[in-house]
Amino acid sequence: MLEKTLVDSIKQNHSLTQAQQLALGKFIDKGFPTSKWEEWKYASLKHLNEFNWLWSPETLSVNFPKPDWKHSAIIQTLNGNTHSEGALPQGIALLSVSEFMAQNPTFESVWNARNPILDQNSLYDLNEALATDYAVLWVKKGVKIAEPLLHHYFVLGQQDTAVQSKIFIYLEEDSEITWFEQQRSESSHAILSNYVQDIWVSKNAHITLIKDQDLGQNITHVDHTFIFQQESSLVDAFTFSINAGYIRNNLHFYIDGPQVVSNLNGLYIPGEGQLMDTHSVVDHRMPHSESNELYKGVLMGNATGVFNGKIFVRPDAQKTNAFQSCKNVLASDRATMNTKPQLEIWADDVKCSHGTTTGQLSDEALFYMQSRGISKATAQTLLLLAFVQQVIDKLGHDEIRAELSDKIVNKIQASLGLTI
């Protein structure tokens, strides 16, 4: 069924390159992930087979409110089509991948050798098959932009729609940007939002990547963010998963040079009817690098959470420091959390540590607070906000921090109001 509608639709609307045909074949062979796939055990997408998807999304326009704080540019990805709203700052260009590769002929072979881990990732194949000449944000050598670049990622549809989006951020040596991505949706129909974001961070470059995922209840969002780091580069990544019926974050870091620092910060706060799954990979391929993972989760209503954190330290990656922490609070009896740290270390001179915990709010603490006149819902909110604060505090940008903090407070308050 899936196969037929997909192939029919593609024949009508696309002419596929050989690589795309190959990817399409792979996807059709594997299908959507089911709970029988180890990597998708708690986050099956089998139900996606039941929809009669529109595989070529309509181009619709949308009004996106502009922030009242200073930003350097706005880039929109609307149902897979990327463009910039207004001019981009000096030293930054937005162009198609074919143009980009034509202008960087030596890069193509480097790019093709990057070798990400794609086991059990049929949605990546699907994206590869359907995301045509996607956009590249090219940050030129030495360009440093202090104000955030705002990325409006949007999916919408007037019928059940499968959206494939892809974007590539290429940072040349010594460049620096902050990418603030607001993922939003507008649809009363089901949407499969399948998003691939590749980021290449050259020597000495620095990117702060902030994802604010606030999508509708009927959205299935699968996010593949693959970051390739060269010597002495720095990445500060933040993923705030606030709303969506289903979110799967595949966040991969490939450390391909020495003196690299990779910071992964994440907060997921699923409520009633929501599933949020983080699968992180930190692949230390070169020596003298450092990775720090700090994840926190608050699970409310009948929410499901998944955290799988893989750290690979390859034989060449001596003197690696890798830390991982994942702490969760079940704020409801009906919520579940599945955690699995997975460390594979082939080098001997390394420092690695990891810890995952899942607990509940203490009844003692709640009673103590109530005995001072604080209602149970407020007491829970205060404790949960104190719990998530550590991740929010790591955001260096005041306005973004305030905006996200408000959003998180509102979500937690609203969800607790529902479950009392």
Q: How far is the CB of 293 from other proteins (least distance, A)?
A: 20
Question: How far apart are the C-alpha atoms of 255 and 233, rounded to whole Å?
Answer: 9
Q: How far is the CB of 213 from other proteins (least distance, A)?
A: 24
What is the three-class DSSP state of 213? strand
Q: 384 — alpha (psi -120 to 50), left (phi > 0) or beta?
A: alpha
Q: How far is the CB of 368 from other proteins (least distance, A)?
A: 4
Here the tokens at position 210 are 């902030």
Q: How far is the CB of 418 from other proteins (least distance, A)?
A: 19
Bridge-based pairing state of the strands 135-139 and 161-171: parallel
Q: How far is the CB of 365 from other proteins (least distance, A)?
A: 5
Q: Is residue 268 within a helix (H) or strand (E), and if so which, with residue range?
A: strand 261-268
Q: How far is the CB of 393 from other proteins (least distance, A)?
A: 11
Closer by beta carbon to other proteins, 113 or else 386: 386
CB 97 within 8 A of CB 134: yes
Q: How far is the CB of 53 from other proteins (least distance, A)?
A: 44
Bridge-based pairing state of the strands 350-360 and 161-171: unpaired
Residue 342's alpha-carbon distances to 313, 323, 354, in angstroms, are 11, 12, 9
Closer by beta carbon to other proteins, 313 or else 388: 388
CA terminus-to-terminus distance, the chain: 43
Here the tokens at position 235 are 């990445």
The amino acid that residue 351 corresponds to is K
Q: How far is the CB of 271 from other proteins (least distance, A)?
A: 21
Q: How far is the CB of 60 from other proteins (least distance, A)?
A: 43
Closer by beta carbon to other proteins, 4 or else 372: 372
Closer by beta carbon to other proteins, 158 or else 410: 410
Q: 225 — alpha (psi -120 to 50), left (phi > 0) or beta?
A: beta
Query: What is the contact surface with other proteins in residues (CB under 8 A)?
Result: 362-365, 367-376, 378, 382-383, 385-387, 389
Q: How far is the CB of 369 from other proteins (least distance, A)?
A: 7
Closer by beta carbon to other proteins, 58 or else 406: 406
Question: How far apart are the C-alpha atoms of 313 and 318, rounded to whole Å?
Answer: 8
What would the 3-class secondary structure string for 294-344 be? EEEEEECCCCEEEEEEEEEECCCCCCEEEEEEEEEEECCCCCEEEEEEEEE
Closer by beta carbon to other proteins, 144 or else 376: 376
Q: How far is the CB of 363 from other proteins (least distance, A)?
A: 8
Closer by beta carbon to other proteins, 117 or else 377: 377
Q: What share of the chain is helix, strand, coil (3-state, %, to 5)?
A: 25, 40, 35
Closer by beta carbon to other proteins, 119 or else 364: 364
Answer positive or negative: Cα dihedral of 49, 50, 52, 55: negative
Question: How far apart are the C-alpha atoms of 114 and 200, rounded to whole Å?
Answer: 10
Closer by beta carbon to other proteins, 105 or else 373: 373
Closer by beta carbon to other proteins, 342 or else 389: 389
Within the chain, how many helices (H) and strands (E) appear? 8, 19
Closer by beta carbon to other proteins, 126 or else 392: 392
Buried/exposed code over 28-64 (b: 16+ C-beta within 10 A; e: otherwise): bebebbeeebeebbebbbeebeebebbbbbeeeeeee
CB neighbour list of residue 330: distance below 8 Å, 6 or more residues apart: 299, 336, 337, 358, 359, 360
Residue 350's alpha-carbon distances to 280, 289, 309, in angstroms, are 20, 10, 18
